[in-house]
Amino acid sequence: MPPPPTTVAAGCGRGVDECDMFSGRWVYDEEAYALYKESACRFMSENLACGRYGRTDLRYQHWRWQPHGCDLPRYVRAIPTHVVVAHSEVKLLEKLRGKRLAFVGDSLNRNQWVSMVCLIDSATQGLHKTLISAGTLVSFNVHEHNASVDFYWSPLLVESNSDHPVRHRVTDRTMGASCGNLHARHWTYADVLVFNSYLWWRRPSIEVRWGSFEAPAAKEDEYCGVTKAVDGVRTFELALATWADWLEFHVGRARTRLFFMTMSPTHLPSDEWADDAGGGTSHGCYNETEPIAAAEEGGRYQRGVTDPAFARAVEEQARRGVTDPAFAHAVEEQARRLVNVTAMSERRKDAHPSVHRRQWEPITDAQARDASSYADCSHRCLPGVPDVWNQLLYAHIVS
């Protein structure tokens, strides 16, 4: 069994700015991973608690990410579950003392937020923590540190008809193309902002509306309230351009650190996706228990798993939003703020809830005959891959 990875944050190995932490391989490590127990996290989401909902193969919890040429820092040192952790032993919380970390985005960003909450909760036994939900905003508070880790539901990042935290399963998705962002007041002044957006754009076309969804269009303005169907990728680019412009004018870069998580690939059923062993038709993530085997070095995306057009759009537009214009020429500054989890996550077809989650609607007879038809191949089981996303984020925050 390989030993636990060296802790870069403690001074071993190459520093975070000297290492391409996004290029590497998955290594099975039952000794060091998982970083916490599913049952021990008091704030676990029912959609992500795969073990609770019948999944018995737990190998997906024990894979660690090993970058080429350096080591990924551990989130916190391993300790017995009965020991109360001293405040100084959780570097992230020390960085967040008196501050606010906010995740803003869709359900995959919420997936990562739950992971972060579980990581902090499991490492800070004995501290006073509360979870407060107020519509689109959910706030996890560690009172001894006066620190909060929040999630704000905003699946398109710009104003849309999908902004309600519950009543958002709409087929006629419409985004607002104006510069206004009526919801940003809930997260603008956070000290660390972590964005994502991808899943809600996976449509051939999306309606674009010029004007606010809440304020009625002025009668004398013939352009307000106009909607138009636009290609999905192009709509995504328009939305992130609006988002990036808004950030530039309204978020203080001296105070707030900005990060954007790139797309986490889905593993939906596809006739195009054949595994590296060759042959066969994919049934998505259903009954998958192992990561995709290592492809040849230099390969960027597996055919049929990741949409290259969307992957490029995510990276290009997100980089514009989270890179300080004063350092736009510096590749190091760009890489430090864009957390590229796409290639590493693409290999983990085994790490989705599949059918092992709470089903909010009764299973139909047709679905019962073909379980792969209702498998969740988008989100990620916890403990699991999002814990590694947070290790990457943690490395940047504490560096």
Closest CA to 342 of 381, 309, 296, 372: 309
Do 284 and 315 touch, CB atoms closer than 8 A?
A: no
246's CB contacts (< 8 A; 6+ apart) are 158, 179, 181, 184
CA distance 208 to 88: 49
Which residue among the candidates 354, 376, 378, 387 is catalytic per the annotation?
Answer: 376
Q: CB neighbours (10 Å) of residue 284?
A: 21
Which strands form 174-176's sheet, in the order they lie side by side? 174-176, 205-210, 226-231
The question of whether 276 is a catalytic residue gets the answer: no
Which residue among the candidates 264, 354, 379, 387 is catalytic per the annotation?
Answer: 379
Tokens of 25: 């391989």
Q: Quick one: DSSP state of residue 100?
A: E
CA distance 351 to 380: 6
Closest CA to 359 of 348, 343, 375: 375
CA distance 150 to 394: 15
The question of whether 107 is a catalytic residue gets the answer: yes
The question of whether 379 is a catalytic residue gets the answer: yes
DSSP string, 340-354: --HHHHHT-TTSS-B
Which residue among the candidates 45, 107, 197, 354 is catalytic per the annotation?
Answer: 107
Do 159 and 213 touch, CB atoms closer than 8 A?
A: yes
Tokens of 90: 């959780």
Backbone angles phi and psi of 271, in degrees to 5:
-75, -15
Tokens of 203: 């449509």
Angle at 237 between CA 375 and CA 157, to 5 degrees: 65
Catalytic residue numbers read 107, 376, 379
